[in-house]
Structure 1
Amino acid sequence: MYTELSTVASQEKLNDHTYLLKVKAQKIAKSVKPGQFCNIKVSETNYPLLRRPFSVCYTEDEFIYFMYDIHGVGTKMLSEKKTGDRLNILGPLGNGFNTEGDYDTAVLVGGGIGAAPFPLLTKKLEGKELITFMGARNSGQVIKWGMKNIVVATDDGSAGFHGNVIECFQSEVQNLENKKIRIFGCGPNPMLKALQKVSMNKYDCQLSMESAMACGFGICQGCPIKKSAGEGYYLVCKDGPVFNSDQIIIG
């Protein structure tokens, strides 16, 4: 884990709501794994007080990329950063996706900004057979940056499959019945809960959970998620954010 005073290299808008931020952060870029995240101080002042967590989207030499939507004051301030601005970044944090092991095909299932960790994961999975299911509300919100072999689902049917991404996955998964697959999921909790249900006792599945993670390493105890076995809770920031789907109960 490092604290780096990084420099903004570029910022672009990918679609109606999604931004891609590129920053120079050499130490983090060399050590981060797919599914890990960083906590970013979006202002040089004490407002907003807390850092904001962002999945690392991609790495390229000494640069790291973050993909995000505007959801509040912190992400609005981040979207206004210009080339040359400085950002204080803490990372890499948490446990990422496990790409090792015995499986034929990697299946990525994402909804909305849940696409954020997939470009780096796609890079890590180079050489594996891979299929990516991406869901969005409409065609203007579809994210494809940095991903491969994409099957799109939109709630309104304006692009690709008409329906949610889990329905899309279920309609296509029979084409993979003769292969040993591993699922990697990231998106809003209702999507992940549905993916957990269809995967239970059937597919090897890992889920990247969303949560407010103020400290990023377990001190504040502010991001609990209930264990599926026994009593007690995991902390999303320290024990996750990636969990095997059978480890957790999604509320």
Structure 2
Amino acid sequence: MIIKLVSTVKLKEHLTDGIFRLTLYAPEIASISKPGQFVNVKVSDYFDPLLRRPFSICDADGEYIKLIFNIAGKGTKILAELEQGDEVDLFGPLGRGFEVDDDFDVALIVAGGLGVAPFPFLVKILKEKGKRIVSYVGARTKEQVISDGLENVNVATDDGSAGFKGTVVELVKLNILNLDSSKIKIFGCGPTPMLKSLVKLCDEYNLKCEVSVETAMACGTGLCQGCVVTTRDFSYKLACKDGPVFNVREILI
């Protein structure tokens, strides 16, 4: 079920370095959302920007959903200027979320930059299911590390200003041998180069893995056919409808 509504801003938080979190009153969406799904947000009452913007549901709690974003253009700048009580037109939940009921004991969360967005919601659900959770978060600098809502956090930064100096996937590889690979499932989200490295690691160690892909989406429902993801048998799927979460055995990144 997809619900369209006009939501109200409950809280806007400036987390760090141009990164914001919005808490929106959207009870109908919050009640049916799953980790990994997203909403499409109309950022302006006018036609500029024309297209809605997709945002992962960072958390769904009671009557509220949370979104995390950084200022990357005109649309997100408009969102960053919203205040408590302002209205936001959105619809969702959209897409396919993470599979949390298959056979694994340890969940490795691997997030690059704002790829952390879907994981507070996922971590909450995994905790309810009694899974052990280890989180790996990568960012360019310590100021850009976002780890709210995660469990057992390990940090990697490009410049070494916090945690391990290097990429988040390199940090995962350093620690993977300490875990029983037959009991692990990896959940990843981040820039495409990071996801490529993560898929290579999962292939090397034969690890279960699902990733949420980052790609431009226009309609959010599959009508425009614009967010194509190539599969390993060289057919295609749509990120907005068949994803954004995919088993890495299914797709080419």
Sequence identity (%): 49
**What is the aligned partner in structure 1 of residue 240 from structure 2?**
237
Equivalent position to 1:195, from 194, 198, 213 = 198
Structure 1 residue ranges (4+ consecutive) displaced by more than 2 angstroms after TM superposition: none
Q: How far apart are 1:177 and its partner, in Å?
A: 2.9
Q: Which residue of 2 aligns with 1:217?
A: 221
Cα shift at 1:95:
0.1
Match of 1:81 in 2: 82
Contact 1:106 1:182 in 2 (8 A): yes
**Residue in structure 1 matched with residue 112 of structure 2 by the alignment:** 111
Distance 2:228 2:182 in 1: 35
Q: Distance in 2 between the 1:17 and 1:176 partners?
A: 36
Displacement of 1:178 = 6.1
Provide the C-alpha distance between the structure 1 equivalents of 2:65 and 2:40, rounded to a whole number of angstroms.
13
Counterpart of 1:148 in structure 2 is: 151
Taking structure 1 as the reference length, the TM-score comes to 0.97
C-alpha displacement of 1:146: 1.2
Please name the residue that 2:249 is paired with.
Answer: 246
CA distance in 1, matches of 2:169, 2:111: 9
Indicate the residue corresponding to 1:59 in structure 2: 60
- Code of the residue aligned with 1:228 in structure 2: it is R
**2:135 counterpart of 1:139:** no
Task: Decide whether the 8 Å contact of 1:105 with 1:179 is kept in 2.
Answer: no
AA aligned to 2:230 is K
- Out of 152, 164, 181, the position equivalent to 2:167 is 164
Query: Match of 1:195, SS?
Result: helix
**Deviation of residue 17 (structure 1)?**
2.7
Query: What SS class does the counterpart of residue 65 from structure 1 fall into?
Result: strand
Q: Which amino acid aligns with 2:203?
A: M
CA distance in 1: counterparts of 2:180 and 2:235, whole angstroms: 36
Take 1:190 and 1:100, find their aligned partners in 2: how far apart are those partners? 28
* Residue in structure 1 matched with residue 43 of structure 2 by the alignment: 42
TM-score (norm 2): 0.96
* Separation (CA, whole Å) in 1 of partners of 2:169 and 2:142: 17
1:48 & 1:81 partners in 2: Cα distance?
A: 16
Alpha-carbon distance in structure 2 between the residues aligned to 1:30 and 1:7? 16
Distance 1:87 1:33 in 2: 21
For these two proteins, the number of residue pairs brought into alignment is: 249
Q: Within 1, Cα distance between the matches of 2:78 and 2:150? A: 27
- Is the Cα contact below 8 Å between 2:43 and 2:79 reproduced in 1? yes
Kept after mapping to 1: 8 A contact 2:16/2:144: yes
In 2, distance between residues paired with 1:236 and 1:172? 30
Q: Any conservation in 2 of the 1:17–1:141 contact (CA below 8 Å)?
A: no
- In 2, Cα distance between equivalents of 1:25 and 1:42: 16
Q: Which amino acid aligns with 1:158?
A: S
CA RMSD of superposed structures (Å): 1.0
For residue 224 of structure 2, give the secondary structure of its aligned residue in structure 1: coil
Judged with a 3 Å threshold, the aligned counterparts in structure 2 of structure 1 residues 4 and 129 are, in CA distance, closer, same or farther, namely same
Does the aligned pair in 1 maintain the 2:181–2:207 contact within 8 Å? no
Q: How does 1:120-139 map to 2 (within 5 A)?
A: 120-126=121-127, 127-139=130-142
The structural deviation recorded for 1:179 is: 5.5
Kindly provide the amino acid, as one letter, of the partner of residue 52 in structure 1: R
CA distance in 2, matches of 1:8, 1:212: 25
